[in-house]
Chain A
């Protein structure tokens, strides 16, 4: 009987221990999972940070290119350049007053 109680006590202790160990392992697993998750999130955050920076740089480059092209359009459509191109390349000239016919 006494040895039986001792056996029951031992088995209940070992059952308790295995539950504690199980909980500890579960907590450990959650902790490690959270640790890896956090590390992964951090790595992703930095990677996305790089991608955002690169995208912003690309956006700036494209904006710069667009602005330069707009300046070039403004330069090419300036009255002086248009007058020069019209005269030199296409032989156009401002019409003389007697050449203008106003249609009523």
Chain B
């Protein structure tokens, strides 16, 4: 019995202890439960946010800027990956020592780096366009306080080629000049946000992109042909250097489509390091700068005369080289007595042009020049286009009427002049000049195309054909533009030599603009070319300075484009007709 009671008491005692421990555990579980409820439910939002801040990070990155291609899809401008290195100076303990250690990895002096790292700022840029190798070296040094921000920089692999056309963009990726500026809205990439998840050691184990499919910039396909552009640049450089000129420009255009194949400038600059070049070399002067075209304007004076019904055989008294009109005396380079209208153009007589202009009256001349687009923008897709200067005929004095006929008192841009000459080659139909052929997505799908756009007929087909003959005669052996004719090709063209106006508004005696504008071949014209040489010192006549550059551009471009020489083509046609093909 005692044993039984003792046993029962022991069991009771054990059960009590179990009950007590059970109660303690229950209380503890309840406490833990409440805490868990408080943490998981009540404070869920704030704690989740706090945790996310620790291991999640949102990274903003800009989409790649679009590529610019030439007409044959060769890259003219591309974007390359770079790393921008920044620093948080307040997190860097020994700026002087760290600057000493890191300066060798970066393109920056130790002194400059130390100054940046010692600055009282939350963030400073150390290097905006570091190479991945530099960034890797810096990462390997394992110094805290630095930040590596991926991005892109613009690379111009052809260096100076078409620099003024392409322009350049700044460190923030926005276009500053040329097509980079004009088409910035298309080229610029959009912002894209990435969320990365890091572990306690800072290693990324998950990343996701917020979907934005069109974050990459669009690509431009130009009408520029990089080989013709190179040919034009080389010919221009030679002409400028040989004639010790101040500068030069050349434009190549396809008359029947308005496509610009080349716009060359000399001196030029390298957009990869545009800051090292004078600012006046940056702009596309063929679009932005007007100049007096000189005798090249006689083409359009002749067009006005022909449209008014004047015959090319009409005889003009050229006053033996000196003619007084409107109280001023006009001179010819060489004195002529009687010249036909055709010969006035062929020998480029100023007096002859002035007298023809007198015959047709100022209104007809003004209307024809306006019809060819002088005094208004062509609408080419390049920034800063000038409209040139063509005053209304009602404001012309007698002398203005005379001088405008041979290209003084009127100014035009290179693009206006070549567009107008192209209209002659295109049977009187004026085409809008264009430099961008298409805008494409990165995957190749076309966003927008710029096809040939007609600006209407400016002269009749008959007038255009007679003008061709007149221009063809100007490049004959006796004409002023004989040096412009390439071997075995025909050229219709016109020289121009204009005195330059100084800051006082008077003409300088020894500063000239030498011009040659024309197209080739005469039939089935393939290209129109304009060469402008500014302030040549050796010679100053357009026929001696600009015409040889024209010839070189046409000759080499035709070789490149496989346009068969006319003589051989004729021989071939004769051979075919007489059944000797293959003989």
Which of A9-17, A32-40, A96-104 sits within the interface? A96-104
Contact, CB under 8 Å: A56 / B207:
yes
Contact, CB under 8 Å: B81 / A49:
no
B78, B160, B206, B571: the one within 8 Å of A74 (CB): B78
Contact, CB under 8 Å: A100 / B559:
yes
Decide if A83 is an interface residue (CB 8 Å cutoff): yes
A residues in contact with B559, CB < 8 Å: 94-95, 100
Decide if B388 is an interface residue (CB 8 Å cutoff): no
Q: Which of A52, A83, A94 gathers most chain B CB within 10 Å?
A: A94
Given contacts A50-B205, A83-B230, contact A104 B158 (CB under 8 A): no
Contact, CB under 8 Å: A79 / B161:
yes
Which of chain A's residues has its CB closest to B155's CB? Answer: A71
Distance between Cα atoms of A68 and B229 in the complex (Å): 25
Instruction: Tell me the count of chain A residues lying within 8 A, CB to CB, of chain B.
Output: 25
Given contacts A74-B75, A80-B230, A98-B487, contact A64 B132 (CB under 8 A): yes
Q: Produce 1/0 per residue, A38-70, CB < 8 A to B.
A: 000000001001101100100000001001101
Distance between Cα atoms of A97 and B158 in the complex (Å): 28
Decide if A78 is an interface residue (CB 8 Å cutoff): yes
Using a Cβ cutoff of 8 Å, how many contacts connect chains A and B? 75
Decide if B257 is an interface residue (CB 8 Å cutoff): no
Distance between Cα atoms of A83 and B227 in the complex (Å): 10
Decide if A75 is an interface residue (CB 8 Å cutoff): yes
Q: Which of B158, B205, B575 gathers most chain A CB within 10 Å?
A: B205
Instruction: Tell me the count of chain B residues lying within 8 A, CB to CB, of chain A.
Output: 39
Which of chain B's residues has its CB closest to A95's CB? Answer: B559
A residues in contact with B80, CB < 8 Å: 67-68, 71
Distance between Cα atoms of A95 and B575 in the complex (Å): 25
A residues in contact with B159, CB < 8 Å: 78, 80
B74, B155, B234, B565: the one within 8 Å of A102 (CB): B565
Distance between Cα atoms of A83 and B206 in the complex (Å): 49
Contact, CB under 8 Å: B565 / A79:
no
B81, B155, B157, B199: the one within 8 Å of A64 (CB): B81
Contact, CB under 8 Å: B565 / A78:
no
A residues in contact with B195, CB < 8 Å: none
Distance between Cα atoms of A104 and B571 in the complex (Å): 8
> B-side interface residues toward A, CB under 8 Å?
74-75, 78, 80-81, 132, 155, 157-161, 197, 199, 203-207, 226-227, 229-230, 234, 486-488, 555-556, 559, 564-565, 568-569, 571-572, 575-576, 581
